[in-house]
Each structure stands twice: as structure tokens, then as C-alpha cells.
Structure 1
Amino acid sequence: MDLGTLFEFAVERHPNHEAVVQDDIRLSYRELNDEANRIASGLQTLGIGKGDRLLLVLKNRIEMVVLYWAIQKLGAIFTPINFRLSLEEVEYCMRDSQAKAVIYEPASEQAVTQAMKDVDTIRIGLCGASGANVSFDDLRKRGTDRPDRSAIQASDVCLMLYTSGTTGGRPKGVPRTHENEYGAAVAHIIQNQYRTAESTLGVMPLYHTMGMRSLLSMAFINGKIVMTPDYDATSILNILQAENISCIYLVPTIIHDIVNHQSFADYDLSSLKKLGYAGAAMTKALTEQCFERLRPEVFVNHYGSTEVYTYSICNYLDRKPSCAGKPGFHQRLRVVVADPNGTSKPTDVVPVGVPGEIIVDTRSIESFQGYWNRRDATEFAIRDGWYFTGDMGLLDEDGDLYVLGRVDDMIISGGENIHPLEVEDVLAKHPKVSEVAVVGLPDDRWGQVVTAYVVARDQSLTASELDEYCKMSPSLSNFKRPRKYHFVDALPKSAVGKMLRRKLRDEAVQNQLNTRESVSS
């Protein structure tokens, strides 16, 4: 069954339940469905139909929800990317996805219009964005109440998310079918113990698997999602109280900001019963704060990825803080000998308590079956029916999983994947930089904070100068730039000259470094 039809079932069940809210706009399921039908029909007048990719470069706004369901009704492929991506990244995703149309807003207008200056692709603008062929309001005017519906199979692709994955370099497209997304949503509902008419925050971006889970799970249980194009801890707390939000699913960074807000005690969050997190590790201290200040009835650590939504879940964090728990509803996993070169096999299982690479079964209904136009990456990641996650972990005596870090050096900061190489490539071009290594260091708020160790060619070099250099780089998104700089005399290397980033992350080694300056930017 396809997602558009499942959504229509939900509309028939509870047409008057609130579906989506943003500021003063409140749409019931009937109203959201009517909007989606009209926009779907409007898209059809532009020649958009089944199998077409639509690249969305938008914040989390109500129009994006309407567009999602409109695109599902057409059998087209919802392809969202981060609205903060650089010009080069937007252009790459647009060309790689072979997008039939690009939908953007003022926040992404400059990158999108520059990326599309030599491309004959339909431009759809929201919120007054310039340079568009047609606006969102124009689509509504063009459309009718009933779009033409094509036959859609469960095996058809409905979504493509882009991920940096574990190899750095260009983002990889992750095609996901109606069946994949249905399975992931059902698992999310079960694993977080959701019931009919829950309500949640639309904070996690819809270009991220966590955002998609919140959107779909609420729709299937006739719940309410409150969209937040722009937010901070104060606005989130206001929404939690005003909208009587019952469940949240966020990265630890945002949860950290909520429970540590200076006015936290002034808010009534008694409706909030269910708390879930994913995207990064949560410290034991923050876990304890959540229990103490939010008092959740359900508290779940969800461990997974864009490619295979659920690896494992842990809903007994009171007994085992930071534990990733047992395999998810649709999943089984193993820990095998870790080899960054990709020679490990699913049968190379390590003993209990021994670290190794975490792998998961791709027969799961939630699992993708390969990257978009990237056979090399697919063959590296999927071996003999198992997905090699690139994560290090171990199983304890109870069979519970603990995630230890990356097989490679991926940094996960605030739920975003950042590869050291892409940051190092920018910094290394600075004329005053001799050598640089970038690592992720533990941080209570961000999970990991991007940190650069720099050997200066010129001793006048400062952290502020490097930070401005990164901000000016067209190839580095703002959220990827280092937040801390350490100036050192030398970087640790192996006998063959390979950079030893792992040593930089070791506290004992860091304390021995001859550090000239350490500045948070």
C-alpha cells in the first residue's frame, strides 16, 4: 500500500482532528488533504508525475507538509535537502538527483538560484522567493480538488534523503520505498508507545530521517505536528506548553537546551509523557536530568540511520544510561571484526564485550537496498545481506548494545554528520596553515563539537581569522565549521605518516600537546 492512500485512510478516520499547526495556521486532516490535493493537481499542470524527483530546499514549514503529501499522491519522489547547504552542495544534489523541479524559499534562495543559473529545471518559490517560474500560491490556483492518481506499488521509491554517510566526500542519495517508510513509521509508533491523537514538535528537519518519522507517525495515528521553521529553546518551551505536546523525538542537543533553560521551571510540561532521542549520543548526566526534570513515562534511545531506520532501541535508560539496547521491532544485529577497508564479513562475529563494527540485517522492511547511482558505496556498505554501519560497538552480557564511536572519523554534532576531511580541506588552503586535523570531541550539548588542531605556518594566525575564513568558504556549510581551535607544534602521525586523529581524541595525549591557544568560536 502507498503512503498517499494510507494518509487518506487517516483523513477518513478522523477528518476533524488537528493535523498540522504553524503559528496561527491550524489545519485539520480534511483541510490538509484538500490542500495536498490542490497542490498535487497544480504540480501535474507542470508535467510532474510518478517517479519524478522534486528537490526541496526548505525550512520546516507547513507548506513542506502539504508538499510531502501532494508528492506522495502523485507517486513522485520527495527529495529534501538541508536549506543551509552551500552553493556547490545544492548544485551537486540537484544534478545527482536529476530533479524535475526545485522548491525553495528566501533562506535558500541565493544558493539555489546560483546553482540553477545554467540548468533548465522548474523553479517553485515559497514565501516570496525570487527567480521562480511559479509560486506555491500559483500551484494552488492552477490545481483542482482531485489530482489524477497513478497506480503506485509498495516497492516504488517515495523519498530520497541525502547523507554524507561514513565515507565523506559527496553526499549519497538514499532511495526509500513506500514499504520502507511505512515500516519505519510503524516501528516508530510501536517503539515509542504512541497512541491515537498524540502531538509532537516538527523541529527535526524533514531532510532528516528523524523529521520524517515524526511526520509519518503522527499522520498514521491522527496526531498533531507543530511545525517550527525557526526556533530556539524558549520558543520550543512555549510550544510545548501552549500546544500540550505529548511526545517529542529530538537530538540530545535540543533536549539539553530545553532542560537547562534558565526559565525551565516556569513552564507547565505536564502533558509531555514520552521522550525519544536519536542522532547522537546522550551523556549520562543529561539522561539523569531528563528523568529528573521531565519525568517521562516513556524514555527511548533510538539508534539507527537514514539507510536502515532502526538498528536498536533502549527504553530502560534509568537502569542503563547511554545504552542502545536491543534490536528494533523489524531488526537483528551483530558486532563483527572492524575493518575500515571493508573486508569484514557478517560471519566475523566478535565475543561478548569485545568492540567491533555494528552490522544490521537488510531484510528489514525498514532497510534501503542501495544508494542512488553509487554502486561503489552500495557494495562497500551492503555485504551478504548485511548493512555495515561504520559504527563501533559492543554487546554486554545481557545482549545489550553500546555504541562506542565511528569506525572511521565521522563527527556527529547536533545530529548532523560532518566528515573531518571536508573541513580540513578548507582550512588547509589558508596561507598561514601548515597542517590541520579535525576531530569531534565530546560535548554535553552537541554530542560532539567540531575541533581543529592547527600547526601554524605563521604564528600570528588566530582562531578568529580561521573562523572568518571558514564562513567565507563557498564549499563549507556554516554548521560544519569548527567551534574550537587548538594551535599545536605538531600533529601525531603513524610511522608511515598517516594522521592519527584517534590520538587527538585521547585526553591523555591532548594534555601532553604543546598547546599555544584554545579558542571557542
Structure 2
Amino acid sequence: MNLGTLVECAVGRNPNVVALVQDNRSYTFAQMHEEVNRLASSLQKLGVKKRDRVMVLLKNRIETVCLFWAIQKLGAIFTPINLRLSPEDTQHCIDDAEPKIVVYEKYSKRAVLQAKFNERPILIGLEQDEGDLSYRELLARGTRTFASLPCDDDDIAVMLYTSGTTGVPKGVPRSHKNEYASTVSHIIQNQYAFFESTLGVMPLYHTMGLRSLLAMCLLSGKYVIAPDFDPRTALTLLAREKISSLYMIPTMYHELLHDPCFAEFDLSALTKIGYAGAPMSTSLTKKCFAMLKPQFFLNHYGSTEIYTFTTCSFLDKKPGCAGKPGIHQKIRLVEPNADGSSTAHDVVQPGEVGEIIVHAGSDEAFKGYWNRPDATRKAIRDNWYFTGDLGILDEDGDLYIVGRVDEMVISGGENISPMEIESVLAEHPKVLEAVVLGEEDDRWGQIVVAFIVPQDATLTVLELDQFCKQHPKLSNFKRPRKYVFVEEIPKSPAGKIRRSELKGYYVLRNDR
């Protein structure tokens, strides 16, 4: 399956249906396809061919979407980069991918123009008079028709760089088959239908963003683009465009529901919501049900490397549950060892915490990292992908995520999951956010430290400690021995907590 043919099929089915909306611009599938063809033919004239990397440093825009489809029609590799990466990480991605073309805008201009290239790519600027040529000049040089070039299922369509919380970003090559299978899974798992619509707010350098875009194309649906997430703008678009489905990280739902003008917007068209990328607290899950009133609500647990691990669609009964394996997947829980010594055969007993591993033979699974055989060997063993996540299966065989292998706190010989304590702390009405880390201790090995963003300035350490002591779900040895009040929790653009930054802040604060 060549992804480039998907847009051709969509045009053949419904050429006059609206495909893209951004601000006061809208494109039908036929109009979008003409722009895609002009870009593809123009890029081909510049020498772009199969397997060439086209690096895109753009926000979600109509231009980004059209470039994605043009690159697919050429059999080249769409390589989007997070605009918020540090200059060092951007340079690493450039060195790693060795792009033939780099497309940038004003927000990424500095990083691109200051970068060093082994072989200088052609630079294309979104704005006029930028780069070697501008996007509009690229468009003007193209032709209205262009047929997709032949591609095999296993040819690389996309390379995403994992955001990660430590180390340099790793390139994750994803084939046409990977992307197609993942999108079909996404549609089935979210119960999407033809002519669905969604808010394109998750960035297209993220697997969640690509999944939303591809799903809308397969379903002749409407992709409403939001270059920047702002809760008021999102609410306006949801109401104005009568959007039927949402797929976002929990942080975005939190901001959406806490907008002071939320009640003024008619969101009755929104019937299907889903989240991924980070855990959602029980309280936020309940608020989503109460305020959005979805007919369908899904927790999707997966990764850039393998799109789906598990899904849960009964969050009203089991908030926070990750559910059962996706339609293509098999999972296991094995002995957790941070040194990577576990094997796929070290399966833990039912009810025990173990590292979650996912079979790497499914159509959704990548084959290995770009230029990183060391990382590939560590991640894929015996044809199983070791996620680094800790989980436990309940009596129904449903999965719950309880933390990370490298974040486990070991105190007095007991394994303590940070996520378990964070969940308890989040129940306190004066707590906005909570993150738990381990601190070295001469007596216990490690002690539990809780970082708290207060909802109410009157919150005290004594109040929190009493709350934890009296909580029926928290064993006494697991309760925090220290509390640190902070203004915010550092997160990646994908909503993942940057624990290393939090720990560094704590060390600096205690050294003063």
C-alpha cells in the first residue's frame, strides 16, 4: 500500500467534500490534490527521489499537509521535526537524517540557518523571499497532475524522531504498511465512520497527529487545522466546524475543560474522544465524561515505534485502564530489569508488576531505529519490543500502567511505583499536579519525594501527609517522605513529564 494512492482514492470517491480547513481557508479533496500534485512534480524537478529525506520544520498548516502527501506520492520520506527542539537536538536530527530538502518557517528559521550541513540541502521557506526558493515558488513550478510513483509496502514513508525524556532524539522509520495498518487500527479502535471530522491539533511530527490526518483521508473526513493549541481557539473550532471526534493528550483536555468560557460553546456534534501520550487522572477522566458527554471514549496506549499496544473503551468503569491488546498485537509482562537483561520468556505471575513487552512482528511495528543498531538491539529482543513501561494485569486481564522501569523507586527493598502515588495525590482537592521521584538515602536506599503543583495556596505538607496516611489504597511504606512545592511540572511537547529536569531543579534548589 503506497500512501500516495490514498489521497488519489479519496479524490476519486468524493472530490468536492471539504478535506482541510484552516482559519478562513478551506480545500476540497480535489483542490488539495491539485496543490499536492504541483508540489510533487516540482520536488521531482529538484531531484527528490525514492528514499530521499524531506525534512519539514513547520507547524500544522495546510502547507504541511500538502507537503506530506506530495512526499508520499514521490516515495520519499516525510521527516518532520519538532520546532521546539533545542538547536543541538535539531542539529542532531539534521546530521542523522541527511535531508535532501529542508522546509522551514519563521519559527524554525534560526535553527535551520544556523545549522551545519555535511551536504547542503535545498532550503525552502514558507514565507516569500526565504530560502533557495519559497513554498509559493515551489508550487508555481509544478503541474496540475502527477501520478504516484510505485512503492513497496516496506518502503519507508515517514521518519519520526522520538521526543524522549533523556538522550538525543532517535529516528523511527515507518513504512507505508506500518502507517496504513496503524491508521486502519485507529479507525476501528475509535469507531470512526465515513465523513468524520477532527481537530488537527496534535503536531504532525507526532504519531498521534499523523494518525488523525491519515484517518480523515481514508474516511473522506474533514481535518480542521490548529497550528497552535489554545483552549479558546479549540473550543471555537469545535463548535463552528461541528467537529465529531477528538484525539489529544490529557494536558489539552485539561486546558479545554478548564477554560472559563467552556459552557458558552455548543459541542453537541462531538461524540467520540480519545487520548494517548500520557496517563489521564481519574478526576480528569470523570470531567471528560461529565462535560463533553461522549458516546465513545478511548484510552490508546502505544508508541512511535509500534502504534498500538492496548486500548480501553470502558473508562467509565475503569478510569486509567489501558485495556487489552490492539487488533494486531500481543503483549507480555516480564521481569523488570533496568540493565536490559530481561528476556521475552521471563514472564511474571498474574497480579505481579512487570515490564510490558509487545510483539514486534505486527504490521504496525517498525523494524529498528535509523542509524542506531545499538538502540535497536536494546529495544527489540527475540522479536519483542521492550517498552520500558511497568504494568499489571487485573483479574479481568486488563492492563494498568504503573510507571517506568528506570523510574521505579526501591526503598527498603520494596519496589514502589511513582504512578501509584501520583494517582493518590491527584485525588486531593488542593493538588493540581503531582510527580514522584526517588531520592538516594543512606538508610533506605531511596525515599519517595513528591513534587506538587498546588491548586490552592493554603495547601500544607502536613495536610498532604495526613491524606496519604489515611488513604485506603496507599501502603504506609509508599507514602512520600518529602514534598516539594513547584509552580509547574516540566513536560515535553507531547505531554510527557521531564523527570530529569525536575530532579535537576530539586538538586539546585537544595544546594542553595
Residues in 1 aligned to 2:74 and 2:434: alpha-carbon distance in whole angstroms = 41
2:137 is matched with which residue?
Answer: 138
Residues in 2 aligned to 1:179 and 1:253: alpha-carbon distance in whole angstroms = 31
Shift of 1:492: 2.4
2:269 is matched with which residue?
Answer: 271
1:308 is matched with which residue?
Answer: 306
What is the aligned-residue identity percentage?
A: 50
User: Does the CA-based 8 Å contact 1:336-1:349 persist in structure 2?
Assistant: yes
Residues in 1 aligned to 2:267 and 2:186: alpha-carbon distance in whole angstroms = 23
Structure 2 counterparts to residues 17-416 of structure 1, below 5 A: 17-116=17-116, 120-128=120-128, 130=130, 132-147=131-146, 149-165=148-164, 168-409=166-407
Per-residue CA deviations over 1:17-70 (Å, capped at 9, x if unaligned) read 111110011001111111100001111121111110011111111100000000
Cα separation, partners in 2 of 1:518 and 1:5, compared to 1, 3 Å = closer
Cα separation, partners in 2 of 1:81 and 1:510, compared to 1, 3 Å = farther
Shift of 1:127: 2.9
Per-residue CA deviations over 1:297-347 (Å, capped at 9, x if unaligned) read 110000000000000000000111100001001111111110111111111
Residues in 1 aligned to 2:134 and 2:152: alpha-carbon distance in whole angstroms = 30
Count of aligned residue pairs for this structure pair: 449
User: Does the CA-based 8 Å contact 2:249-2:277 persist in structure 1?
Assistant: yes
Residues in 2 aligned to 1:165 and 1:337: alpha-carbon distance in whole angstroms = 23
For 1:504, give the aligned amino acid.
V
Cα separation, partners in 2 of 1:450 and 1:128, compared to 1, 3 Å = farther
Structure 2 counterparts to residues 508-519 of structure 1, below 5 A: 512-513=481-482, 518-519=486-487
User: Does the CA-based 8 Å contact 1:253-1:447 persist in structure 2?
Assistant: no
Shift of 1:111: 1.2
Per-residue CA deviations over 1:203-248 (Å, capped at 9, x if unaligned) read 0000001001000001000000111112310000000000000000
Per-residue CA deviations over 1:257-313 (Å, capped at 9, x if unaligned) read 112221111110000000000000001111111111111011000000000000000
Per-residue CA deviations over 1:374-393 (Å, capped at 9, x if unaligned) read 00100001011110001000
User: Does the CA-based 8 Å contact 1:390-1:408 persist in structure 2?
Assistant: yes
Shift of 1:150: 2.8
User: Does the CA-based 8 Å contact 2:448-2:482 persist in structure 1?
Assistant: no
Residues in 2 aligned to 1:187 and 1:103: alpha-carbon distance in whole angstroms = 30
Residues in 2 aligned to 1:48 and 1:351: alpha-carbon distance in whole angstroms = 52
User: Does the CA-based 8 Å contact 1:105-1:128 persist in structure 2?
Assistant: no
Residues in 2 aligned to 1:31 and 1:409: alpha-carbon distance in whole angstroms = 49
Shift of 1:113: 0.9
User: Does the CA-based 8 Å contact 1:492-1:503 persist in structure 2?
Assistant: no
Residues in 1 aligned to 2:42 and 2:209: alpha-carbon distance in whole angstroms = 25
User: Does the CA-based 8 Å contact 1:104-1:129 persist in structure 2?
Assistant: no
SS in 2 for 1:110: helix
Per-residue CA deviations over 1:136-181 (Å, capped at 9, x if unaligned) read 0011111112336432111100000001447x21111000000000
Cα separation, partners in 2 of 1:7 and 1:519, compared to 1, 3 Å = closer
Residues in 2 aligned to 1:243 and 1:373: alpha-carbon distance in whole angstroms = 43
1:15 is matched with which residue?
Answer: 15
User: Does the CA-based 8 Å contact 1:244-1:272 persist in structure 2?
Assistant: yes
TM-score by structure 1 length? 0.81
Cα separation, partners in 2 of 1:140 and 1:493, compared to 1, 3 Å = same
For 2:143, give the aligned amino acid.
T
SS in 2 for 1:39: helix
Residues in 1 aligned to 2:40 and 2:212: alpha-carbon distance in whole angstroms = 22
Residues in 2 aligned to 1:514 and 1:324: alpha-carbon distance in whole angstroms = 29
For 2:152, give the aligned amino acid.
Q
Residues in 2 aligned to 1:255 and 1:444: alpha-carbon distance in whole angstroms = 16
SS in 1 for 2:127: coil
User: Does the CA-based 8 Å contact 1:59-1:83 persist in structure 2?
Assistant: yes
Flag structure 2 segments of 5+ consecutive residues without an equivalent. 409-420, 452-463, 466-477, 490-512
For 2:390, give the aligned amino acid.
M
Shift of 1:493: 4.2
For 2:158, give the aligned amino acid.
L
2:509 is matched with which residue?
Answer: none
Is structure 2 residue 434 aligned with structure 1 residue 492? no
